[in-house]
Structure 1
Amino acid sequence: PTAVPQPTEEIAAAPEITAEPTDTAVPQAAPTEASAVNTLVPEPPTATAPPTAASTDTEAEPTATEETEETAVPEAEPTETAVETTEPTAEPTSETAVEPTSASQPPPAVDPGEVPPVISNEYPDNNDKTGWENRINVPAGFTVTYVGRVEGHPTSMDFGPDGLLYISNQEGSIFTMDSSGNVSTFASGYTTPTGLAFRPGTSQLYVSDRVTNESVGGESQISIVGQGQLIGGLPCCYTFLHAANGIAFGPDGMGYVGVGARADHGEILDGSGRQDELHPLEAAILRFNPDSGEVSVYARGFRNPYDIAWDANGTLWVTDNAPDYGPPEEAHRVVPGAEHGYPWYDCDTCFSPPPGVEVLPPTYTFVPHSSPTGITVYKASQFPSNYYNSKFVALWSAFAGAQKVMRLADGPPQNFATGFAAPIDVVVGPDGSMYVTDWATGIVFKISYTG
């Protein structure tokens, strides 16, 4: 998705999700400017906000038929919390970016060279647990469990200190899900929330969403559920996409968030100066104080950084959605203070970087228009030991080569789990299993190692 969202991209045979008839309309994409291929962009819904951050902005959304499903609510679920603020109360303050260090330069980009697996185009009914469990392909020794399903289109997940899985959806709600798949509404009233993260050692849930949902001139924010806005005035939203996205807390206790660019591959700006001087908080990963909301730039050069995750060595990783014209998608090992390529790599006709600026290439690349979204690092012990510290990335879009979770370790990216409709986020649970949520179906899957 670049949509965070909702990715939008050209479609090469988007999957159809078969489900029982329903009267609920599925968001459809409307054609835009003519090009060599059919390009689709999200049609703004009348009642709900369009998707946000996630893939190259020309992918087509997978279609899924939503169904109404009654779910039992656990006895001790959190109560619903209304969002307290809609108007910005604190403007971010921009500090000088951390100077690049030569200590941890990323390895050269890797060509995936992958051949997508052959999978049936027939999707099970959204409530067919056995059908979906049999459809998802994983390596020998792993098993897939259909845990449960939330309404709407999921965008992000995180486990809370209570052991429950918290899931945001594009329509503005946050749900909890227990290990039996029971779902309860935790909070509502957000505008296209894209990032969720609990502050370690607390029950504070940080959420990124939008204040004003306008193309290019919008505004996004970071809030704490039950406490209101912490940071306002963050850039938003290229074609209703590219806002404040994934959130993660670092080993230093500070918060980090990816913020997308306000354009596809660079802006023509009035006046002189570099883009990152005129719009210092876009196309970057920001570091923020979780108490005061004070903001600084941690690293630059990411067109639409959908999600971020820290590995066991204290290195930050990010998924980045490439421009609409079709270059490979990216994952980066983030170097503090460095420039990672946007807009100088993300262009069909590129300008030279400013004098003295070293632009770092991506660490991994994926097939064009595959829309890398959620990323997690495996730091548990349930999987075999060689999986420790591997990165796992969800490829969201409807294009060939996506609809799967890939493992990033030594060498090129490897298929880990295939057969999804539109996987949007991936996290590791307290039980050591991996959880994947699907944007098109609302299903949450658990992948466990059983030997």
Structure 2
Amino acid sequence: MIRKELYFLILPFLVHSFSIDAQSIIMNPDIQHEQLMEVQPMAVRIAKCDGDGHLYYISFNGDVYRIDQEPGLPATDALVATEADHGINYLQGLAISDSTIYLSGNYKEAGVPGYGIVARGQLQVNGTWAWSNLMTTQPYASSAHLFDHAFSGLCLNPTKDSLIVCSGSRTDHGEVQVSGGMFPGYREVPLTSAIFQLPVTATNLILQNDTAWLSASGYVFARGFRNAFDVSYDKNGNLFAVENSGDRDDPDELNWIQHGHHYGFPWVMGGNFTGQQSLSYDPTTDLLINHGCLAWQNNFFYNDPGYPQMPPGLVITQ
């Protein structure tokens, strides 16, 4: 098992988690760092709660931890919530506003359709957290298979009345992903490859896996994302998202996210047209494919006459 540790970087304040074997190289003499503590396996995000002054971090398996440190003593972590509290067993998103924690992720189980979840935890006067459901999707073609990116990054908008929530693609580059035969012929579905805007006051909201319903709901903020794993607003109220490319060596993306825009997936990634949409595509001649990557090894690059064609008139923002 790879051991993980937390390090403080001061000026600016950051916390980073990486292997104990990594060597820290400080390029700017104004930046200092010190080891804070060793964290639990599969830690994915960290944020500070102004309500109690503590740092919190989450793990992929659904665990939520509070970091405690008394003056002069080593930092420790305390488990404050699990899947049993919020229902998420594939946890990727964490945001904290005042005394409220927001979590995003999926419930995934091999052999059955999964679903997306946004949960809310509210700090109680005794230091515990009261959990409730903000949003659950209808079950859709999300399961424990390669390249199902699921619900991930989230943040509050500047007025703190809405949550921006990312839902990644269920494919690497728009190929068919059958998940062991569960979803024959399935590529993307209405609930994937999108960023949603949800009211923070919602309770038990159900997002339907239906294009017409979602379009009429007002909850879709933007579309065309492979894996917008993190989102944030700048001081001027502009929303940005970072996105990694697929197993084909297309550029990663940093996008200014504008309401109603489409950002290209699955037809365009990192400014490049996806090769598999071409009727004459021959992956053996595609110089951007590393033959050691998972998508190549699992035969996900192929000549694909059934690949959906880009809708006429679609305007892509890159």
Write out aligned runs for 1:313-332 (5 A). Answer: 313-332=236-255
Q: 1:260 to 1:281 in 2, by over 3 A?
A: same
How large is the Cα RMSD of the aligned pairs? 2.9
The 3-state SS of whatever aligns with 1:218 is: strand
Partner of 1:290: 200
Partner of 2:148: 241
Instruction: Say which structure, 1 or 2, has more relative contact order (CA 8 Å, 6+ apart).
Output: 1
Q: 1:158 to 1:66 in 2, by over 3 A?
A: closer
Shift of 1:244: 0.6
Richer in strand (by share):
2
CA contact (8 A) 1:248 1:308 kept: yes
Write the distance in 1 (CA, Å) between the matches of 2:76 and 2:40: 12
Q: 1:137 to 1:350 in 2, by over 3 A?
A: farther
Query: Are positions 1:228 and 2:132 aligned together?
Result: yes
CA contact (8 A) 1:281 1:297 kept: no
Partner of 2:210: none
Partner of 2:124: none
Query: Are positions 1:254 and 2:254 aligned together?
Result: no
Query: Are positions 1:205 and 2:101 aligned together?
Result: yes
Partner of 2:43: 154
CA contact (8 A) 1:216 1:262 kept: no
CA contact (8 A) 2:90 2:108 kept: no
Write out aligned runs for 1:326-345 (5 A). Answer: 326-345=249-268
- Aligned mate of 1:311, from 225, 234, 248: 234
Q: 1:257 to 1:215 in 2, by over 3 A?
A: farther
Shift of 1:178: 3.7
Write the distance in 2 (CA, Å) between the matches of 1:216 and 1:315: 38
CA contact (8 A) 2:147 2:171 kept: no
CA contact (8 A) 1:136 1:144 kept: no
The 3-state SS of whatever aligns with 1:241 is: coil
Partner of 2:81: 187
TM-score (norm: length of structure 1): 0.46
Partner of 2:222: 299
Q: 1:258 to 1:216 in 2, by over 3 A?
A: farther
The 3-state SS of whatever aligns with 2:192 is: coil
Q: Deviations over 1:400-431 (max 9, x none)?
A: xxxxxxxxxxxxxxxxxxxxxxxxxxxxxxxx
The 3-state SS of whatever aligns with 1:251 is: coil
Partner of 1:163: 53
Write the distance in 1 (CA, Å) between the matches of 2:176 and 2:147: 19
Number of equivalenced pairs: 229
Q: Deviations over 1:53-81 (max 9, x none)?
A: xxxxxxxxxxx2479xxxxxxxxxxxxxx
**Structure 1 runs not aligned, ≥5 long:** 1-25, 27-63, 68-122, 126-131, 270-274, 362-451
Write the distance in 2 (CA, Å) between the matches of 1:316 and 1:343: 21
Q: Deviations over 1:210-232 (max 9, x none)?
A: 22334894222111233232211
Q: 1:65 to 1:140 in 2, by over 3 A?
A: closer
Write the distance in 2 (CA, Å) between the matches of 1:163 and 1:66: 23
Partner of 1:356: 313
Partner of 1:280: 190
Write the distance in 1 (CA, Å) between the matches of 2:198 and 2:110: 24
**Structure 2 runs not aligned, ≥5 long:** 6-18, 122-129, 178-185, 208-218, 279-308
Letter in 2 for 1:191: N
CA contact (8 A) 2:222 2:262 kept: yes
Letter in 2 for 1:300: R
The 3-state SS of whatever aligns with 1:349 is: helix
Identity of counterpart residues, as a percentage?
26
The 3-state SS of whatever aligns with 1:227 is: strand
Q: 1:350 to 1:240 in 2, by over 3 A?
A: closer
Write out aligned runs for 1:26-425 (5 A). Answer: 26=1, 64-65=2-3, 124=20, 135-161=24-50, 162-178=52-68, 181-189=75-83, 190-198=88-96, 200-201=97-98, 203-214=99-110, 217-225=113-121, 226-233=130-137, 236-237=142-143, 239=146, 241-252=148-159, 253-267=161-175, 279-292=189-202, 296-346=219-269, 347-350=274-277, 353-361=310-318
Write the distance in 1 (CA, Å) between the matches of 2:192 and 2:267: 15
Poorly superposed stretches of 4+, deviation over 4 Å? none
Shift of 1:240: 6.3
